[in-house]
């Protein structure tokens, strides 16, 4: 589960888009493009126009003569100046990347393999600032001038998609990989720790690297510079040890969440509990820390009567994961006796019945559970714990009140339980339980359960 994040208002995000250096420069490129400009047969700027754009937009290094740039077209215009030292490179004792080496014709490649004009071109096309029709191109610098913040942010997201999907593919992968790592961290990451992780990833990809590729520290430095220019990341300083850190901006957080959700990940948003359904609340709780989780639950409950809250939670729990069921009944605990009629009605639901019976007993009510239902509940509770806790801790604490011999006897018969998480829980016990007798019993139960599922008994 990804950490819960707070999404800034659209107006604030739109202001961040307007302030992003790469978007401002892309607007300049669009204004330079004018109403109509020819392209090559390959759909790129002609060498003379590329040289003119580099000169007029002031993106060529002073030591690279314009005629050299014009003499050899690149993917778009292609070759780019050596980037000026950025805030990611400025601190002594940090990444210390070496300068990029010029190629034989005097161009300097950025370490990430993408020239600045190439990057601006991708950004401008993605944001709708440049429109390519056949072999002609026209600029639309007003594309980001919409008074609607949602439209502006949507254009920026399209630009982000275009840059992350750039060629060569390893460039886009590194950019998105860094941004994703920062999102998963949920807070600013120390620069040295980020560099270690990036270098490890580069070593893993070494077989695919080309001869002469820049050092990983250089690649990371330039990738972070691109993310900063896009408005995705920003540098900070850890107040405790005064070390450089890197974190996502509010704009970067919003953009990366959209990409992760589109890729199928569950990416909860903090502060939306009161307006979300019970299913969304239960799914998001695992992404919160204790304080934020309590706040979300309190806000959600404040918008509902106890009866409505219990009804929504029980309905969501019936189709939720084991962890979600446990969370639902933990929230219902806060509703007290007002929830008794609804919980009692849940006794007719086979999935909810074991949980409901235990809850009713805690309220002093009569509720019977068969041995088979008790065993099912044990598996469901264990599976719920495994969604969040360390497997070793779950194995050691699943049955803390029972002596090891009694635990082994109970585990030995679990193979008969019809629960989708049974084999996963039994496997956890075989790998992590501290008692050898329980481990042996779990192994036998796993074998019997697998045979049963395969039709062998």
For 304-347, the pLDDT digits (tens) are 999 999 999 999 999 999 999 999 999 999 998 999 999 999 99
User: At residue 117, does pLDDT exceed 80?
Assistant: yes
Residues, the chain: 457
pLDDT band at 32 (very low <50, low <70, confident <90, very high): confident
In DSSP terms, which residues pair with 376 in a beta bridge? Answer: none
Q: How far is CA 440 from CA 39, 319, 339, in A?
A: 72, 33, 42
Least confident of 8-12, 110-114, 194-198, 408-412: 110-114
When pLDDT is cut at 50, 70 and 90, the band that residue 407 belongs to is: very high
Structure confidence at residue 213 (pLDDT): 64
pLDDT at 101 over 70: no
- Does position 187 have pLDDT exceeding 80, yes or no? yes
Quick one: pLDDT band at residue 263, thresholds 50, 70, 90? very high
Say if residue 264's pLDDT is above 70.
Answer: yes
Q: How far apart are the first and last CA of the chain?
A: 36
98 contacts: CB under 8 Å, gap ≥ 6: 215, 218
Predicted confidence (pLDDT) at residue 53 exceeds the cutoff of 50? yes
The answer to whether residue 436 scores a pLDDT higher than 70 is yes
Q: Which pLDDT does position 74 carry in this prediction?
A: 35
pLDDT tens figures, 443-455: 999 999 998 877 6
Which residues, other chains included, contact 87 with Cβ-Cβ below 8 Å and sequence gap of 6+?
228, 235
Binned at pLDDT 50, 70 and 90, residue 77 comes out as: very low
Kindly tell me the sign of the dihedral angle through the C-alpha atoms of 369, 371, 372, 378.
positive
Check pLDDT > 90 for residue 163: yes
DSSP 5: B
In the chain, % helix, strand, coil (3-state, to 5) comes to: 60, 5, 35
Q: Is the model's pLDDT at 90 over the cut of 80?
A: no
Least confident of 90-104, 254-268, 379-393: 90-104
From the list 29, 20, 19, 21, the residue with the least C-alpha distance to 130 is 29
Query: Which has the higher per-residue pLDDT, 100 or 168?
Result: 168
User: Residue 103 pLDDT more than 80?
Assistant: no
What's the whole-model pTM score? 0.58
Please say if the pLDDT value at position 71 is more than 80.
Answer: no
Highest mean pLDDT out of 172-176, 186-190, 218-222, 424-428: 424-428
What value does the mean pLDDT take over residues 109-115? 44
* Pairwise pLDDT comparison (80 vs 265), residue with the higher score: 265
Mean pLDDT of the chain: 82
Q: How many CB atoms lie within 10 A of CB 457?
A: 9
Tell me what the mean pLDDT of segment 73-99 comes to. Answer: 34
Mean pLDDT of 406-411: 94
pLDDT at 266: 81
pLDDT computed for residue 274 by the predictor: 53
> Which range is most confident: 88-92, 132-136, 428-432?
428-432
Alpha-carbon torsion 300, 301, 307, 309, what sign? positive
């Amino acid at each position: 589960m990804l950490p819960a994040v707070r999404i800034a208002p659209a107006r604030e995000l739109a202001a961040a888009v307007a302030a992003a250096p790469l978007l401002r420069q892309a607007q300049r490129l669009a204004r330079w493009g004018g109403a109509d400009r020819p392209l090559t047969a390959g759909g790129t700027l002609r060498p003379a126009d590329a040289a003119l754009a580099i000169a007029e937009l002031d993106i060529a290094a002073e030591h690279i003569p314009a005629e050299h740039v014009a003499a050899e077209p690149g993917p778009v215009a292609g070759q780019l100046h050596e980037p000026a030292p950025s805030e990611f490179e400025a601190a002594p004792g940090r990444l210390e990347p070496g300068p990029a080496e010029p190629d034989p014709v005097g161009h300097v490649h950025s370490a990430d393999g993408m020239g600045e004009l190439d990057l601006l071109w991708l950004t401008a096309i993605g944001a709708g600032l440049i429109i390519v029709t056949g072999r002609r191109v026209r600029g639309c610098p007003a594309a980001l001038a919409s008074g609607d913040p949602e439209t502006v942010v949507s254009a920026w997201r399209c630009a982000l998609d275009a840059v992350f999907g750039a060629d060569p593919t390893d460039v886009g992968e590194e950019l998105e990989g860094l941004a994703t790592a920062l999102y998963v961290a949920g807070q600013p990451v120390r620069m040295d720790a980020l560099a270690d992780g990036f270098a490890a990833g580069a070593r893993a990809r070494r077989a695919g690297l080309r001869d002469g590729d820049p050092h990983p520290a250089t690649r990371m430095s330039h990738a972070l510079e691109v993310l900063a220019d896009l408005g995705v990341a920003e540098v900070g300083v850890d107040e405790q040890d005064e070390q450089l850190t890197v974190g996502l901006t509010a704009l970067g957080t919003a953009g990366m969440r959209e990409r992760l959700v589109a890729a199928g990940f569950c990416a909860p948003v903090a502060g939306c509990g009161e307006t979300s359904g019970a299913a969304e609340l239960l799914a998001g709780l695992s992404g919160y820390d204790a304080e934020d989780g309590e706040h979300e639950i309190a806000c959600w409950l404040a918008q509902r009567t106890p009866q409505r809250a219990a009804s929504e939670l029980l309905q969501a729990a019936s189709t939720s994961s084991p962890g979600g069921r446990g969370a639902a009944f933990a929230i219902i605990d806060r509703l007290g006796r007002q929830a008794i009629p609804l919980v009692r009605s849940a006794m007719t639901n086979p999935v909810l019945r074991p949980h409901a019976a235990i809850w009713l007993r805690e309220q002093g009510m009569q509720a019977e559970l068969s041995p088979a239902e008790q065993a099912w509940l044990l598996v469901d509770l264990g599976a719920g714990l495994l969604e969040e806790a360390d497997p070793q801790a779950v194995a050691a604490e699943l049955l803390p009140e029972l002596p090891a011999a009694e635990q082994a006897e109970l585990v030995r018969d679990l193979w008969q339980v019809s629960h989708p998480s049974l084999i996963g829980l039994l496997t956890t016990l075989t790998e992590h339980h501290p008692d050898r007798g329980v481990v042996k019993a779990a192994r036998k139960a796993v074998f019997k359960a697998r045979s049963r599922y395969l039709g062998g008994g």
